[in-house]
Structure 1
Amino acid sequence: MQRVRRDAFWESLDLPDGVPFGMLLYRFYDACGEPLYIGKSTAPFGRLEGHRKQAEWWGLVEFIAMSMYPSHGLLLRAELAAIRSEQPRFNKAGLRGKKRVELHLHGSADDAADVLLDEADPEFLADLVRILSTPDRALLAVAPPCPGFC
């Protein structure tokens, strides 16, 4: 985490090395270290400059944390996980999952799990796991016995 000088924003940043500066996850914090806003960008200079010039919360910014990701997919997942776990004050999108997602039921269970983990509300997922884990709702590994009229 770095202290930000709002009057000399770019000069105050120690930009990350290694991965090309393009798949950036950034977090802005207030003076107490509380998260204000979490975002991502593949064009960080313009995105961060936009926040600096237009965000209603910019006057509260004291710190920034930045992480680079090697792919856009990993960046999207990291942003969503960070927003859901840290609950920043000014993020509106991403705090809850989508109301509906397309889930393919004939195919890879791993792919379906990825969709749910990426898109669903964490509380919904916790409830779903609890329900599917109860003995009366657990999936049967074998067919139940024939009731006698087979």
Structure 2
Amino acid sequence: MSPRDLDKPVSIYRVFDAEGVLLYVGQSSSPLSRLDEHKRLQVWQMQIASVTVEWHATREDALAAEKEAIREEGPVWNYHHLLSGRLKKLGIFCPEVDVRDPDTWGASCVTAQGGRG
């Protein structure tokens, strides 16, 4: 990313299913291209019924809005961000765990006090 890209408008987008359930929140300077990627790669692709796009003046603004939306609105498929935030609030850190990969679910976690869980 070039320094010029930092000043370009960036969107956050919300993906909903047919019943209006929020599936995913993301950010991109090219939301249509990013949504095409989701439609090709994500297991939830067939659930997509509608999308809203909200533009922000800078990438920094969009990242902050995305983080807040994920935290406040709890989209179904942003579980990695949600789980990481919840564990961190509890003082638990699981650097080897990827919530999308069941093979890592048995990995050890470390508490803020240095204990292992």
Q: Compute the TM-score of the two structures, normalised by the length of structure 2.
A: 0.61
Provide the identity percentage: 30
Whether the 8 Å CA contact 1:24–1:41 is kept in 2: the answer is yes
Identify the structure with bigger relative contact order (alpha carbons < 8 Å, sequence gap 6+): 2
Unaligned runs of 5+ in 1: 1-20, 100-119, 125-150
| Structure 2 residue matching 1:33: 3-state secondary structure | coil
Of 68, 77, 81, 1:90 maps to 77
Q: Deviations over 1:66-111 (max 9, x none)?
A: 1000011110010001111111111123214387xxxxxxxxxxxx
Partner residue in 2 for 1:25: 12
Note the aligned Cα RMSD (angstroms): 2.4
Partner residue in 1 for 2:36: 49
Q: Which structure: larger Rg? A: 1
Q: Deviations over 1:9-66 (max 9, x none)?
A: xxxxxxxxxxxx8501000011111100110112334321101111110111111111
Moved over 6 A (4+): none
Q: Compute the TM-score of the two structures, normalised by the length of structure 1.
A: 0.48
Unaligned runs of 5+ in 2: 1-7, 92-117
2:87 matches 1:76: no
